[in-house]
Structure 1
Amino acid sequence: MADAVAGLGGPSHGGRRETVEERSDRNWAELLQELRVMQTGVQILTGFLLTLPFQPRFADLDAYQRAVYLVLVVLSVATTGMLVSPVALHRALFRKHLKPQTVTGGDRMTRVAIVLLAFVMTGTVLLIFDVVVDRTAGLVVGASILGVLLFLWAVVPAVVRRRG
């Protein structure tokens, strides 16, 4: 292994002494762990959304609320699909010696899933506040949640990366 690492010209990515294959394996394992964390929450949220039409108060929703609900169902199912996509990509490319490309593709799919999840979470809060309080509260709280998620999921990582 020392020869393989030495052949890379010294420490590779981030000061780690690992081959391209080792780095790809490590990155893939880390990506899968991230997907596991996200998948559970998204499945619970999707399940919650799918049960709403069977609740007595669902008939009381106005046209706007029903439209928001339907958009949320589509986004939530799309988020679930996007979270499973890296695994499907891995299956399609298994034993093709394309692990770095699999990791890159999986990373991109996961980033899209995170954006979709932000919209699903924002929209769900918007809908709940719209139904329970009023439309203005729904829009204000929804926008606030989107701002918080943008800060936590984009600004904080950018600051950490810059200081890094």
Structure 2
Amino acid sequence: MTSDDPGRADVPSTAKVPPRWFIRTAWVVHRGLYRVTGGRFGLTRPRPGKYGMLSLHTVGRRSGRRRTAILAYYEDGPDLIVMAMNGWGEAEPAWWLNLQATPEAEVALPDGGRRMRAREALGVERERLWAGFRDYEGPKTDLDALAKLRSRPPAMIVLEPA
């Protein structure tokens, strides 16, 4: 990895993220609005300059219960691409740990649900997909600077149709 690569702890970052309590509250509110409105609010398709939002349903790796997370995504052919970051915190998100244990999942999209199988993109594919997320970042977002807040790059997850 060169010093220009995202996710390097030894490269200073000017990125700022909201406090953890704010991020967690936003997640809870988003999931709550999605649930209360019966899915009518909270999910969007990607469009130029703006990634989409999907609802990912996994099986808890310890509890065996259904778990739900709302994630940013974009489409790469028939695949859906998500980034395994936990509010740019150091820990891996629970949904990604759940998918590592049981890669089969369901996603809800504005136009319906799909059964998917998850895998991590590595090497050249990972770099291509990371660059793809840049097409959706807003004018005030710098994904590379945010990634430098972590000691390792966020995993790029490919959700393939099952």
Structure possessing the higher radius of gyration over alpha carbons: 1
Higher strand fraction (1 or 2): 2
Q: TM-score, normalised by structure 2?
A: 0.25
Higher helix fraction (1 or 2): 1
Instruction: Return the structure number with greater relative CO, CA threshold 8 A, min gap 6.
Output: 2
